[in-house]
């Protein structure tokens, strides 16, 4: 059975909204790195947790199987599978965290070891999991006066950080095919849709870059967004338009998708040749 959840950045936004309500009493922990890459030769990794709050935080670390997809609007969401079968590249069932539970004092750091116990005869390729770091901190009081017994009511919050984990054995490769490129103005932005189809035995992690040029070749709008392709996706990317929008005429949008990321060490990226496409954009 599969379920659709907010993607990692959506969870982060939700956490930020909760923390903004009471930043000292409902503080999550800081987690580094933001993605885990494990190799079959070493079979281990680590996370560093830090409690920046003023109260102790109860921490639990767990894993599940999930990967990003796009919905009908082009937004990224996270598809989770409760019981992945043997055809799915899940590592969630054989990744263990040590310790799994702990209490972090204010300003305290803790290293969590991630150990892999893959099944015998594991085929070459990349296997995926999501690591969940759940932090329970203080309480946010519910507005209202205490009753006659002096009882006060509060809400105890749990802030979850969800991280991708990639486990690799043997040679890995990935490529992506770009098609169905289209663009149209949407408010003060240019909405760009495309279809990305992955091949190979590893996820494609990279950047999608686009530039919209007028008839003189001058760039009037652009975007540069990180992108992940585990299976086929059709993301909707936005490029801010100049004040006043676009003048009537013909424009050319050029897009490149490349296996490059500034937030991921180059040595753990699975390289592939960049793909490019372009489309004419007409403004009546």
Q: What is the CA radius of gyration of the chain?
A: 22
ω before 220 within 30° of 0 (cis)? Answer: no
Taking only the tens place, the pLDDT of each residue in 138-156 is 555 555 555 556 565 556 6
Q: Is residue 225 within 8 Å of 199, Cβ to Cβ?
A: no
**Rounded Cα distance, 231 and 265, in Å:** 22
**What pLDDT is stored for residue 20 in this prediction?**
31
Contact (Cβ atoms closer than 8 angstroms) between residue 103 and residue 59: yes
> What residues does each domain of the chain span?
2-169, 174-283
Q: Tell which CATH architecture fits domain 2-169.
A: Sandwich (2.60)
Model pLDDT, residue 206: 96
Is the pLDDT reported for residue 180 higher than 90?
Answer: yes
Structure tokens at 165: 């984990």
Q: Which of 23, 25, 101 is nearest to 56 (CA)?
A: 25
Percent of the residues in the chain that have a pLDDT greater than 70, as a whole number: 84
Top-level CATH class of 174-283? mainly beta
C-alpha distances (whole Å) from 210 to each of 185, 194, 219, 244 are 14, 11, 10, 20
H helix and E strand count, the chain: 1, 18
Q: Are the C-beta atoms of residues 68 and 87 closer than 8 Å to each other?
A: no
Give me the pLDDT at residue 127, please: 98
Per residue in 191-249, pLDDT (tens digit) is 999 999 999 999 999 999 999 999 999 999 999 999 999 999 999 999 999 998 999 99
For the stretch 51-86, pLDDT in tens is: 998 899 999 999 999 999 999 999 999 999 999 998
Among the listed ranges 17-21, 182-186, 239-243, 257-261, which one has the minimum average pLDDT value? Answer: 17-21
Taking the model in full, what pTM does it have? 0.83
């Amino acid at each position: 059975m599969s379920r659709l959840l907010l993607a990692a950045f959506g969870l982060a936004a939700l956490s930020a909204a909760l923390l903004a309500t009471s930043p000292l009493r409902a503080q999550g922990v800081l987690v580094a790195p933001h993605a885990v890459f494990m190799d079959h030769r070493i079979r281990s990794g680590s996370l560093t947790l830090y409690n920046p709050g003023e109260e102790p935080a109860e921490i639990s670390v767990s894993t599940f199987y999930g990967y990003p997809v796009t919905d009908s609007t082009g937004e990224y969401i996270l598809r989770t599978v409760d019981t992945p079968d043997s055809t799915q590249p899940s590592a969630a069932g054989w990744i263990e965290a040590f310790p799994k539970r702990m209490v972090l004092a204010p300003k305290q750091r803790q290293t969590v070891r991630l150990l892999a116990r893959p099944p015998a005869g594991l085929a070459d390729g990349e296997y995926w999991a999501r690591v969940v770091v759940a932090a329970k901190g203080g309480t946010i009081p519910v507005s209202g006066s205490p009753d006659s017994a002096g009882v006060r009511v509060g809400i105890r919050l749990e802030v979850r950080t969800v991280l991708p984990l990639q486990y690799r054995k043997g040679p890995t490769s990935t490529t992506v095919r770009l098609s169905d490129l289209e663009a149209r103005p949407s408010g003060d932005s240019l909405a760009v849709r495309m279809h990305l189809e992955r091949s190979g035995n590893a996820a494609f992690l990279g950047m999608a870059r686009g530039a919209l040029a007028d008839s003189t070749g001058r760039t009037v709008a652009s975007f540069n967004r990180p992108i992940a392709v585990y299976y086929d996706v059709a993301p909707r990317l936005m490029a801010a338009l100049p004040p006043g929008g676009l003048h009537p005429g013909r424009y050319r949008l050029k897009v490149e998708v490349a296996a490059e990321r500034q937030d991921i060490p180059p040595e753990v990226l699975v390289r592939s040749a960049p793909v490019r496409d372009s489309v004419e954009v007409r403004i009546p």
